[in-house]
Amino acid sequence: MRLQDEAEMPPQINIVPMIDVIFAILTFFIMSTLFLTRSDGLPVNLPKATTSQRAQVPTKITITLDEEGQISLNRKPTTVETLTGQLRTLVGANKEALVIINADEKVNHGQVVAVMDRVRQVEGAKLAIATQRP
């Protein structure tokens, strides 16, 4: 039984919850795309070079020398003395392995040369030094 005084309300669709869901999905996609960038080495300030080129061969092995002079091989800490053995293990039968050195511009030149010498001792390892364009 209805009262005749009661006005009949037309059905309504409340879109506020739908907007909240859309914003939540949008936030998820924005945050997930921020993590899609690929970084092979640890973050360092690379020196600038006008003749730098982009890597044409996919990066296989990355050696990083940070500002304090600490060495990392594929993001794992190591030393100059053990570097040759670890590189031989990583290169293995692959005679086209590319070893990229990411050295901070403040690292001592002698330490970079020592690492390069260790890389050259590994047969089949191609050496590259990472730089950034000015």
Domain contains 9 = no
The total number of structural domains that make up the chain: 1
Q: Name the pTM for this structure.
A: 0.59
Which DSSP category does 18 fall into? Answer: H
Give the integer Cα–Cα distance in Å for 129 and 49. Answer: 11
Give the integer Cα–Cα distance in Å for 98 and 61. Answer: 6
pLDDT by residue (tens digit) across 11-66? 788 888 899 999 999 999 998 888 776 666 777 888 888 777 665 544 468 899 99
Domain contains 19 = no
Domain contains 85 = yes
Domain contains 4 = no
